[in-house]
Amino acid sequence: MRTLSSVEELDFAAAAMPAHVLVAPMSDHALLEATRTGDEDAFAVLVGRYRNQITSYIYRMTNDYEESVDLAQETFVRLYRAAGRYQTTHAFSTYLYRIATNLAISELRKRKRRRLVSLTGLLDPGDGGEAIDFNPVDQQPLQDVSLVDTERREAVKRAISTLPEKYRAPLVLRDVQGKSYDEIAAILCTSEGTVKSRINRARNFLRDKMHAYL
Chain contacts with another protein (rule: CB under 8 A): 4-7, 9-10, 12, 44, 47-48, 51-56, 59-60, 65, 68-69, 72-73, 76-77, 80, 149, 152-153, 156-157, 160, 171, 175-176, 178, 181, 196, 199-200, 203, 206-207, 210, 213-214
Cα–Cα distance for residue pair 73/39, rounded to 1 Å: 19
- For another protein, the closer of residues 56 and 102 by Cβ is 56
Smallest distance, Å, CB 3 to another protein? 10
Smallest distance, Å, CB 121 to another protein? 25
- For another protein, the closer of residues 119 and 211 by Cβ is 211
Smallest distance, Å, CB 69 to another protein? 6
Smallest distance, Å, CB 203 to another protein? 6
- For another protein, the closer of residues 20 and 211 by Cβ is 211
Cα–Cα distance for residue pair 137/22, rounded to 1 Å: 50
- For another protein, the closer of residues 29 and 207 by Cβ is 207
Cα–Cα distance for residue pair 55/100, rounded to 1 Å: 9
Listed residue (133, 139, 126, 147) closest to 211, CA to CA? 139
Smallest distance, Å, CB 150 to another protein? 11
- For another protein, the closer of residues 26 and 176 by Cβ is 176
Smallest distance, Å, CB 4 to another protein? 6
- For another protein, the closer of residues 121 and 141 by Cβ is 141
